[in-house]
């Protein structure tokens, strides 16, 4: 979705989390034999290429903490510095992935002036964001932090992934970009490849 085009009634950016009615709507698609490469192509067409280095900020709901370990480890193995909120960082550290703890927006700046996650994003210190939504409407804390994170991502034009499945696809896509596997073929070449594979 072209999130940068939307604003709420107060002129602020909007949340990038899609409801069920919008999940099947989009402006672009990517085609390839590998899902990760296809995902990388779709992101390049919609927002610009996925980053291949820099800092990845990760803050996920408790239900997603176990599933995010392997894709985040893949990002770390590619050389990304991992920034995470305390709970997410703890799970990553217990599973051998180094993560620098970043303060939540709701905690405010630290006593020594340490920035919040949103400040890191707005200052351009983050290259990729992973934030899965928490809770249900009416909850404060993590739910509001997530909204602030995702709207800051839109303001800065930083790729923001909101599902663990999307994170896994992004990690595979970034690996493909780094390997040089992302290329362009005509639809006819794709059709020939599918026929040859017996699909």
Q: CA-CA distance, 35 to 33, in Å (whole number)?
A: 7
Tell me the domains of the chain and their CATH numbers.
52-197 (3.40.50.1380)
Strands 160-161 and 100-101: unpaired
Q: What is the pLDDT of residue 48?
A: 75
161 contact partners, CB below 8 Å, separation of at least 6: 128, 129, 130, 131, 167, 170
- Judge whether 134 and 142 are in contact, CB under 8 Å: yes
Q: Which residues in the chain show pLDDT less than 70? A: 1-27, 135-143, 199
Q: What is the pLDDT of residue 57?
A: 97
Q: What is the pLDDT of residue 113?
A: 92
Q: What is the pLDDT of residue 143?
A: 60
pLDDT, one tens digit per residue, over 64-77 is 999 999 999 999 99
pLDDT, one tens digit per residue, over 161-189 is 999 999 999 999 999 999 888 777 777 88
Q: What is the pLDDT of residue 66?
A: 95
């Amino acid at each position: 979705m072209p999130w940068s085009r939307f604003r709420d009634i107060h002129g602020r950016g909007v949340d990038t989390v899609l409801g069920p009615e919008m999940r099947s709507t989009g402006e672009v698609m990517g085609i390839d034999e590998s899902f990760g490469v296809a995902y990388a192509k779709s992101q390049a067409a919609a927002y610009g290429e996925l980053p291949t280095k820099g800092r990845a900020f990760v803050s996920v709901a408790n239900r997603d903490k176990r599933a995010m370990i392997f894709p985040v480890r893949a990002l770390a193995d590619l050389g990304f510095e991992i920034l995470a909120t305390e709970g997410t960082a703890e799970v990553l550290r217990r599973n051998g992935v180094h993560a620098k703890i970043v303060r939540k927006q709701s905690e405010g700046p630290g006593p020594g002036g340490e920035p919040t996650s949103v400040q890191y994003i707005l200052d351009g210190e983050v290259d990729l964001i992973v934030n899965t939504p928490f809770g249900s409407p009416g909850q404060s804390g993590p739910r509001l932090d997530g909204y602030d994170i995702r709207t800051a991502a839109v303001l800065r034009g930083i790729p923001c992934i909101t599902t663990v499945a999307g994170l896994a696809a992004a990690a595979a896509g970034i690996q493909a970009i780094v390997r040089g596997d992302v290329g362009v073929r005509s639809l006819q070449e794709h059709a020939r490849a599918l026929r040859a594979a017996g699909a």
